[in-house]
A and B are shown apart, each in its own frame.
Chain A
Amino acid sequence: MEKELEKIEDQVRKSLADNLRKGFADRNFGDVLVVGGGISGIQAALDLGAAGFKVYLVEKAPSIGGHMAQLDKTFPTNDCSM
């Protein structure tokens, strides 16, 4: 019984995935929305993008980068922030 349920679940997922692929690929359909384009948002988007997801990264400022982009260097190595 459990096995069958799993099977059905699997099929539902597959068809959903099919829908994603066919029906929505061209529309604004993604996997994850990341809100905020600072260092944390950028890292989240990069990881998810590398792990097979489509990501929207939304930033309210005219550029991504956040507060880290305003820093000159970072402690304790004093590496360049950019």
Chain B
Amino acid sequence: MGRHPNIEVLTYTEVDSVEGEAGDFKVTLIKKPRYIIESKCTGCTTCVEYCPVKYPDQYNQEISDNKAVHVYFAQAIPLITYIDESCLYLKEKKCRICEAVCKNNAIDFNQKLEKVEVNVGAIILSSGLEPFDPKVKEEYRYGQFVNVVTSMDYERLLCATGPYQGEILRASDMKHPHKVAWLQCVGSRRVTPGENSYCSAVCCTYTQKQVILTKEHDAEAECTVFHNDIRSYGKDFERFYERAENLPGVRFFRSYVSIVKENPETQSVTIRYSTPDEGVKEEEFDMVVLSVGLNPPADVQGLANKFGIELNAHGFCKAIPSNPMETTRPGIFVSGAFQGPTDIPESVFTASAAGSQCGELLDYRRGELSKERIYPPERDVSQEEPRIGVFVCHCGANIGRIVGVPSTVEYALTLPNVVYAQEQLFSCATNSAQQISDLTKEKGLNRVVIAACSPRTLEPLFRDTLREAGINQYYLDMANIREHCSWVHAKEKEEATQKAKDIIRMSVARVCRLKPLQEFDLPVNKTALVVGGGIAGMTCALSIAKQGHEVYLVEKDADLGGTARRIHSTLDGMDVQAYLRDLVRKIYQHPLIHVYTDATIPEATGYVGNFVTKVKSDRGVTEIKHGAAVIAIGADEYKPTEYLYGKDDRVMTNLELEEQIAQGEERVMNAQSLVMIQCVGCRNEDRNYCARICCSNSVKNALKLKEINPRMDITILFRDMRTYGFSEDYYREASNKDVKFIRYEPQDKPQVEAVEEEGRRILRVTVTDYILGKKLAIDADLLSLAAAVIPSAGNKEMSLLFKVSLGPDDWFKEAHVKLRPVEFGTDGVYLCGIAHYPKHIPEAINQAYGAAGRVLTLLSHDTVTASGSVCEVDEDKCISCGACITVCTYGAIEFYDTPQGRKATVNPVLCKGDGLCNSVCPTAAISLKHFADEELLSQIDAAVGDF
């Protein structure tokens, strides 16, 4: 980020005013004085050491202190200090010690507020959120009882860079809490003044995370969660909930609670709650965590005024459902939690989505102001003796607390070919990476070992660091002394230090043998293929086409529209059919979009930038060359086998009910009593996930029916009402309009039978009401089942065609659940809509634009770089057995004919370097570059050999 040539990061800066219009905004920024000259500060923190002023650390939720001059947090970008208003000099013109100790003369008390004007074509508001402040309600006792903390405070307590270096301690006595309680829905789902009526959407699952982490910190801890509905509506959340719930010593209680008192001696906190069996109880806890919800950003009205945008009733950005990235002012877009309470993946893909819309607006000027990254020429070191530099990272306290870092540095210096070694607080910090690069040049290093974490996340950064130093990037090895050492040997400090030395010795041995490898550029075909013509596929296709790229849109049905053809409205009142008609028209009218309906894909080959896909339709077979592919093939509706579905025509699914409501079906309009049953076909053993949308859809149908016939009796039988986010308001509205909600337990499901009584044919639904504590029989004219959304039957085939993976429930599996939510691990293939997981239409639109944004990051380039760490075949040794071809999941190996007969060959572009083929090859004809036998054997020798 700090190294990107096209991004200028302005921290400690706020927007003052915005003038102009889409395409031409003039924005005045106010840079606050840091009192530090950014270009001179090295982040050495000597000034912090000497600063006499202690001040509550904001980053650590004011639990611990920091100094008046400090770095915001250990991995801050930029990693430089700033001086805050607690400074003695700023307050009383005294002190100035920092000035005296700074060797770089980086302190400048003469800095003033500085106005900077920038001209831009578009603006994205990613203003985020503010955690709910429980001080606004006295009943939460926050700030009053010292052992009542917020979930944000607790997050810092859990963290290695937190106030107590990752120890969970009570502020009252600096002891580990043994009994911890979490209170859900603090500030959320409440209509009392100062709190929010909506559901904050993330608290249930973050609490489960905190429970799991607490148990990791202390296996004996007793964790109790007091909750309302558990809203595990996201992908893999249901399993996560089960994981937390099934840990020993963990209790989940469905109860409202009140914080009663603080023990005057122990400062422990008593909570009162109610149980179904034993009535009201009181219990004492060592610590109480308030699971606070999400508020709009601070001073949101000021922000809205500044940017000239409107807010919704909750103070978040006002958005229209058909384009949630659009604000009310053209050219200004919104992403992330300012759209509404939201989790990280949504924050990420709405960012890509807003980016795509900026791209549509500014496509004419793309590439005009941007720059390519330029590296110094690579030094040929192949003839030199290895000169190795070893950098040992403390990772804050993650490594340094367990491993004796200074002694490993000393040890590294004794190893052969090591000419330099040093420790670093965070090797990944911008200034540390710069230091590695500078030292590599200064000391004439030609190989580098970073002893830190797993290469999975940061290897690209350190490779880049080597490139900056003019060294081939494959002359790097990462010695993983965190995941492989400090994290698993927390209680054996001495042995851990010895092991870290062993790992470093192995790395040093390996790095000597590494070869310089070249990466190569592949051309990128500028066309995209979108598979699936539902709302997601069409939205994505249109956004790509609007940025000047040809798009082939392939749909298996005769008509475009997908599942949305059966949906008539959304909870927030969008007319889905009108929207769909308009979208289909735009698709057909766009000159760059080619639509194939009634189409199948018999074959897909190729790789990022260069795919070749065959499409079979009534026009015959078309071969499409494309650089990117988007999978948006939607999902199916579960066909229930339970509750008389298919046996009695009065039993239908939610979607069928919606269609019948839209058609004004008489038996629906005139029904006296209607029952809905939630969680049909999911949250069970066969499908261990929540289908996310059914609760809101049932509420939607119930409200529609109440609007048509207010006297209709409607009962919704549910397990947890999962109307997350703003949908909560509609749940409340339904309840206020006398829709009855009755909770059932999965082991005691409702029973349905068709009976005839006094000449009236009815469906008798029997259910246990846990509040009344007895069985109820409800006589219904109609029964609607919230049938699960299930993965499309075509998912398996599609996953094979495009070599992408499916998750445990057969949903398509994204590259990273949080940070790469709309792309696959397979380069050049992207994902959006309900093929990823069930979601509401506005969410699918968000994601579709998001996928388009990611596609553009590929298609806007002429070339893409392929890795150097790939397999190659020694033809002399190849016996043409084909074992490698069978085992390769990427289809990267083929036979070809040579004068010496048939031999295997690896397509280096498709090869992912996973090491399967070289390990099955019976004659060791295949080797994986960067993991060659001699490289690995030298590492093993170093581990077991004499030393």
B-contacting residues of A (Cβ < 8 Å)? 13, 16-17, 20-21, 24-25, 27-80, 82
Contacts and interface: CB of A to CB of B under 8 A. Distances in A.
B364 A57 contact: no
A46 B818 contact: no
Contacts of B4: 45-46, 49
A62 B25 CA distance: 25
B-side interface mostly = mixed
Contacts of A52: 6, 366-367, 370, 860-861
A54 B1 contact: no
B120 A63 contact: no
B205 A63 contact: no
Contact of A24 (B10, B119, B131, B206): B119
A2 to B, nearest CB: 12
Nearest to B238: A76
Contact of A33 (B118, B209, B236): B118
Contacts of B11: 37, 59, 61-64
Most buried by A among B156, B206, B213, B336: B336
A53 B236 contact: no
B152 A70 contact: yes
A45 B209 contact: no
A60 B58 CA distance: 14
Contacts of B337: 38, 40
Given A40-B347, A74-B344, A67 B131 contact: yes
A51 B856 contact: yes
A35 B351 CA distance: 11
Most buried by B among A35, A39, A73, A74: A35
A72 B121 CA distance: 36
Given A44-B352, A51-B355, A73-B209, A34 B126 contact: yes
A56 B117 CA distance: 11
Interface string B60-79: 01000000000111011110
Contacts of B25: 33
Nearest to B346: A40
A67 to B, nearest CB: 6
8 contacts: A17-B365, A32-B122, A38-B126, A47-B857, A63-B11, A63-B72, A76-B235, A76-B237
Nearest to A68: B344
Contact of B1 (A35, A46, A47, A56): A46
Given A60-B13, A70-B156, 20 more contacts: A20-B365, A31-B120, A31-B369, A37-B11, A41-B124, A43-B335, A43-B355, A44-B126, A44-B355, A48-B359, A52-B366, A52-B367, A52-B860, A52-B861, A53-B359, A53-B362, A54-B369, A60-B14, A67-B128, A72-B158
Given A49-B7, A70-B59, A78 B120 contact: no
A69 B159 CA distance: 11
Interface residues on B, range: 35 or more
B680 interface: no
A36 B206 contact: no
Contacts of A20: 365, 368-369
B211 to A, nearest CB: 11
A59 B364 contact: no
A72 B29 CA distance: 32
B153 to A, nearest CB: 10
Contact of B818 (A17, A33, A72, A77): A77
A66 B128 contact: yes
B187 to A, nearest CB: 15
A40 B8 contact: no
Contact of B350 (A40, A55, A60, A65): A40
A82 B74 CA distance: 11
Given A54-B6, A77-B817, A40 B365 contact: no
A71 B15 CA distance: 26
Contact of B118 (A28, A49, A82): A28
Contacts of B364: 13, 16-17
A16 B338 CA distance: 33
Contact of A75 (B27, B123, B208): B208
Interface of B: 1, 4-15, 25, 27, 29, 34, 59, 61, 71-73, 75-78, 82, 116-129, 131, 152, 155-156, 158-160, 162, 205-206, 208-209, 212-213, 234-237, 239-240, 297, 307, 335-338, 344, 347-348, 350-352, 354-355, 358-359, 362, 364-370, 428, 457, 817-818, 853-854, 856-857, 860-861
A45 B19 CA distance: 21
Instruction: In the A-B complex, list the 5 residue pairs whose CB atoms are closest, starting with the nearest.
Output: A40-B336, A63-B76, A41-B126, A43-B351, A49-B6
Given A43-B352, A74-B344, A21 B368 contact: yes
A35 B29 CA distance: 11
Given A28-B116, A45-B7, A69 B209 contact: no
B158 A47 contact: no
A9 B891 CA distance: 46
Given A44-B351, A49-B370, A58 B213 contact: no
A71 B126 CA distance: 18
A66 B124 CA distance: 16
Nearest to A35: B125
A18 to B, nearest CB: 8
B206 to A, nearest CB: 6
A76 B239 contact: yes
Contacts of A42: 1, 351
A24 B26 CA distance: 13
B9 A59 contact: yes
A47 B856 CA distance: 8
Nearest to B156: A70
B365 A30 contact: no
A31 B122 contact: yes
Contacts of B78: 63
B128 A32 contact: no
Contacts of B8: 30, 54-57
A1 to B, nearest CB: 17
A32 B121 contact: yes
A49 B61 CA distance: 33
Contacts of B853: 47, 51
B917 to A, nearest CB: 29
B208 A36 contact: no
B351 A41 contact: yes
Contacts of B818: 74, 77, 79
A58 B118 CA distance: 11
Contacts of A80: 457
A34 B156 contact: no
A54 B78 CA distance: 19
Contacts of A39: 336, 344, 347-348, 351
A31 B209 CA distance: 39
A63 B127 CA distance: 14
Most buried by A among B4, B8, B123, B854: B8
Contacts of A53: 6, 358-359, 362, 366, 369-370
A61 B129 CA distance: 14
A21 B370 CA distance: 10
B72 A62 contact: yes
Nearest to A74: B818
Contacts of B129: 67
A62 B84 CA distance: 10
